[in-house]
Amino acid sequence: MRIDILTLFPALFDGFLSESIIKRAIDDKKITINIIDFRKFSTLKHHQVDDTPYGGGAGMVLMCEPVVKAIESVKDEDSLVILTCPQGKTYNQKMARDLKKYKHLIIICGHYEGYDERIREFVDLEISIGDYILTGGEIPAMVITDSVTRLVDGVINESSSWEDSFTNNLLDYPTYTKPREFRGLLVPEVLLSGDHEKIAKYRHDESIKRTQKRRPDLMENNHED
C-alpha cells in the first residue's frame, strides 16, 4: 500500500514516521508513505496557498490550484482521495478496514479557515475523526495512516488486530501480565488455568460486559446487525 499525505507542514510527520510500528512497516516495505508539501505547487509569489474568502468573513481559505495540482501529481487509477474535514463521515474501525483494501490513499490536510469548496470536486471521501475542531488536518491524517497501516498484511500479528476494540462492535477484553498480585489486586484465576476454552469464553464475556457498561451504543449496533 502507498499513502501520500498532502500538507503545508511536512515536519510535523518526522517523529510519526520514524518510530514504532509505522517505521517498521516502512523499513519492511509493507507500506510506502510520502509527505508532500502542496505549497510547492503554488504559482504565486512566496508560494502562497491561501487567500481571503469571497463575500467576506474571518480567516483565510486554501486555494484550489495548489491542492488540486498536488493531488494530480500523485493520483493514478488505484487512488482514493481523502479530505480530512469536520463535516466528513466520522471515522471508525470499519472504515479503517475498508481503506486497507485500497492500493493507494491520498490524504489532504487542511489548515486556516477551510478549503475552497471546489476542491471537493476532486475528492472521493471526506473523513472526520470526531466532533471537535483541530488546528489542521495533520493529526487526522496520522490517525488514518496509523489505523490503516496496522491492518496491512504482515505489519502486526493478524490475531491481534482482530481482537482490538471495535472489532465486531465490542470493546477489547481486559489483559494482565506479571506480577500475579499487585497491592492486593489479583489476576483472574481463569487466566492462570491453562484452559484455553475457558479463557476464550472469559474474554468474550468480559468484552460484552465492558461494552455494555462503557459503550452501550455499540451493543445497539450489534443488535441491529
Residue ranges covered by each domain of the chain: 2-156, 163-224
Measured CA to CA, the distance from residue 34 to residue 195 in angstroms comes to 46
Confidence of residue 77 (pLDDT cuts 50, 70, 90): very high
Tens digits of residue pLDDT in 98-107 = 999 999 999 9
Q: Is the pLDDT of residue 223 over 60?
A: no
User: How far lies 186's CA from each of 182, 198, 208, in Å?
Assistant: 7, 18, 21
Cell numbers at 109, concatenated: 490536510
CATH superfamily of 2-156: SPOUT methyltransferase, trefoil knot domain (3.40.1280.10)
User: How far lies 19's CA from each of 23, 25, 26, 165, in Å?
Assistant: 5, 10, 10, 23
The stretch 73-83 carries a mean pLDDT of 97
CATH superfamily of 163-224: tRNA(m1g37)methyltransferase, domain 2 (1.10.1270.20)
Confidence of residue 219 (pLDDT cuts 50, 70, 90): confident
- Which residues does the annotation mark as catalytic? 86, 113, 150, 164
